[in-house]
Amino acid sequence: MKVALVGDIGGTNARFALWRDNALHAVQVFPTADYTSPEQAIGVYLAAQGLAKGEVAAVCLAVAGPVSGDEFRFTNSHWRLSRKAFCANLQVEHLLLINDFTAMALGMTRLQPDEVRNVCAGTPDTTRPAVVIGPGTGLGVGTLLGLGEQRWLALPGEGGHVDLPVGSAREAAIRQAIALDTGHVSAETVLSGGGLLRLYHAICALDGHAPTLGTPAQITDAALHDDPVALEVIEQFCRFLGRVAGNNVLTLGGRGGVFIVGGVIPRFAELFLRSGFAASFADKGCMSAYLEGVPVWLVTAEYSGLEGAGVALQQALAQHA
């Protein structure tokens, strides 16, 4: 019997799993640097599962970047993919390529109660869009809309590249300090792993501190050990994230709630939950009341991208059944 395969491919790692009976099976992670192409990595994965080429009928891959045409070039990776060549090589009947944040958004429909933490209390309006936002290597932003009958629509976008919003003179000074190095300051310029370091250098420059920390991990570790400068960096990071998330809710009418995903925030989850995120999220002047009651959740699930790829594949195959 033929099976389906799902993948979530980033710049550093590719995650693959079999999708069977509406669930993930046999998840494995492959460093992209160790393989010349996704076909090679998937071939190794299938062999490990005792499957030969031709035994996988359908594949859905979540990939970083806009998806169109036959060829896709992976962001931050040497991998390339031709749809036609991929299907021929692996003898696959159906290949679905989707944006990685489309998959992440769809993955929110599969969350279990122990995979989320409440950030802002509220009741989601299931008839309205939900916002999915994730600081990681970059800043991903997506939209999830329920269509009824257990069907969902995920809208990808490039919301991580909107201008960074500021709400105080201090934030304006920080933004200007960063602009001296980067020029245009997008939300992603600050709200990402590399952005954490930019924020640290800006605060050091404004306050006359000699920078001693050289990586995002060092900043996080220092904050967790009560370093005052690192703590301010984390606090300001959380406040900027609150402003960006609140802007998205206003833009989309996103009263379905906000899901915070990605690899950055879980590293300092307790600091985040005690931060000024919620205050900045709702700091919208005459529209502040609109943000009241919009729930915000911190997602801790490990394989939301893979789960979302499974949902996307299931919906696509159902449409062609």
CB 119 within 8 A of CB 298: yes
One-letter-per-residue 3-state SS of 208-247: CCCCCCCCHHHHHHHHHCCCHHHHHHHHHHHHHHHHHHHH
7 is in an annotated binding site: yes
CA separation for the pair 274, 156 (Å, rounded): 30
10 is in an annotated binding site: yes
283 is in an annotated binding site: no
310 is in an annotated binding site: no
Give residue 291's identity as a one-letter amino acid code. Answer: L
227 is in an annotated binding site: no
265 is in an annotated binding site: no
Residues 6 or more apart in contact with residue 241 via CB below 8 angstroms: 133, 135, 191, 260, 265, 277, 280
CB 247 within 8 A of CB 227: no
Binding residue positions? 7-12
Binding residue positions for ATP? 7-12
